[in-house]
Amino acid sequence: RTAKTCFVYGTLMSEEVLHCLLGRIPRMQPKVILQNHSRHPVRQHVYPGVIPSTSTSASVEGALLLDLSPLELKLLDYFEEEGVDYKRTDVQVQIPDVSSLDEDTQTLVTNNSNIDDNYLSGRILKTQAYIWLKDTAALDTTQDWDFEEFRRDRLDWYLQYTVKPCRDEAV
């Protein structure tokens, strides 16, 4: 199977952004946790970056995109400026409530996780995420990034001035 998964934690949690960028909304599993990382606004931008955290209690809630094609991953790399702003990195995420998964996703999780990796009631899954690559000074580390605020105040602007131009350049 060539389809891939990707943990997203910022603007890519928005179905509108995904549809504009990829031309479809991939299957998504919400409420997925990336442990030992923190999410912060990128200064003077509407999107966040995630960085490793020394705090063992730090975690980021996001969504797992499922069944991404190689071309869609290339589009995401282009959108995220992979290698410049972010690095697509192997990570392990926790799916707290495996019982909430549909059958396809349960199979995916079972096939990609180690049975010994049960953590609390959740399942640990190997995937990838875009981790902030630039200097952390570019992040406002005193703040957590707020998805609902982004959706309410910035989504329309972001679709028009960032996502659509990026999509047009990439295709």
DSSP helix/strand/coil, 146:
coil
Predicted pLDDT of residue 19: 97
Give yes or no for a contact between 156 and 131, defined as CB atoms under 8 angstroms apart. no
pLDDT for 123: 81
- Is residue 91 exposed (0-12), middle (13-18) or buried (19+ Cβ within 10 Å)? buried
The pLDDT tens digits of the residues spanning 9-27 come to: 999 999 999 999 999 999 9
- Split at pLDDT 50, 70, 90, the class of 54 is confident
Which residues are bridge partners to 35 per DSSP?
Answer: 59
* Cβ atoms < 10 Å from Cβ of 50: 25
Q: What share of the chain is helix, strand, coil (3-state, %, to 5)?
A: 35, 35, 30
Check residue 171 and give its pLDDT: 75
